[in-house]
Amino acid sequence: IAGIAVAARHGILIRSSAFLEELADLTSLVVDKTGTLTFGTLRLQSIQDSAGHADLLPLAASLGSASSHPVSRALAGLVDKDQLLPLSDIRERQGLGVVASTAHGEAALGRPELFEQLGIATPAVPEH
């Protein structure tokens, strides 16, 4: 019973102690990715800025917040809401990214193909 109480405090619901006892013999566990074990939203922990452009993070986060793509929206979570920049004329390019107007001109966030379509040269994407 103590194990069930501890699990409940951590948000884990166990129907009976019999299920808990059977876990001792468990050798494999298969789960799906529908949010059963997650919150259903992506969250970035940190970002690696190898090019020295950390000052672009508020702009990237602002564009990410305007996108419907889950990874872009997760990028928006790396800055406080008061750091998000005002955007206008927001255009999402399905499967490519998002383009918007800022106080300083046009800005884009997305795949290399988006920048190619916009006529913007980009360096090769590094292999990880």
Q: What does CATH list as the number for 54-117? A: 3.40.1110.10
Three-class SS state of 88: strand
Nearest to 20 by CA among 39, 37, 1: 1
Three-class SS state of 55: helix
**In the chain, where are the structural domains located?**
54-117
Q: pLDDT for 12-36, tens place per residue?
A: 888 888 877 888 888 887 776 665 6
Q: pLDDT for 48-105, tens place per residue?
A: 776 777 778 999 999 999 998 888 888 888 889 999 999 999 999 998 999 999 999 9
> What integer pLDDT is reported at residue 89 of this predicted model?
97
> What integer pLDDT is reported at residue 48 of this predicted model?
74
Average pLDDT of span 100-125 = 91
| Whether 32 is catalytic | yes
Degrees, nearest 5: CA angle 31-34-39 = 105
Counting beta carbons within 10 angstroms of the beta carbon of residue 76, is it exposed (0 to 12), middle (13 to 18) or buried (19 or more)? Answer: buried
